[in-house]
Structure 1
Amino acid sequence: MTVIVRHDSLVGETQDKDWWMGLVLHCNGGARDPAIFTLFQIADVDTGVVRWVNADLVTHVLPKGLNGSRGSAA
Structure 2
Amino acid sequence: MASSETYEFLFVKPGDHVVIKNEKPPGNTQNGRQEYWIGQIISCIGGARNPNSWTLFQVADIDNGEIIIINADTVERILKTAEN
**Same fold by TM-score, threshold 0.5 exceeded?**
yes
Q: 2: CA distance between counterparts of 1:48 and 1:8?
A: 19
More helix by share: 2
* Unmatched segments (≥5 aa) in structure 2: 1-15
* Unmatched segments (≥5 aa) in structure 1: none
| RMSD after superposition | 2.4
Larger radius of gyration: 1
Higher RCO (C-alpha 8 Å, min separation 6): 2
Who is 2:20 aligned against?
5
The percentage of counterpart residues that share the same residue type is: 34
Who is 2:47 aligned against?
30
| TM-score normalized by the length of structure 1 | 0.75
With 47-56 and 15-24 compared, the bigger mean Cα shift is at 15-24
SS at match of 1:56: helix
How many residues are matched?
A: 66
Structure 1 residues 50 and 14 mapped into 2: Cα distance closer, same or farther (>3 Å)? closer
Q: Deviations over 1:1-47 (max 9, x none)?
A: 111000124xx835651110000000000000001011000000001
| TM-score normalized by the length of structure 2 | 0.66
Q: 1: CA distance between counterparts of 2:31 and 2:68?
A: 16
State which of 34, 51, 62 in structure 2 corresponds to 1:45. Answer: 62
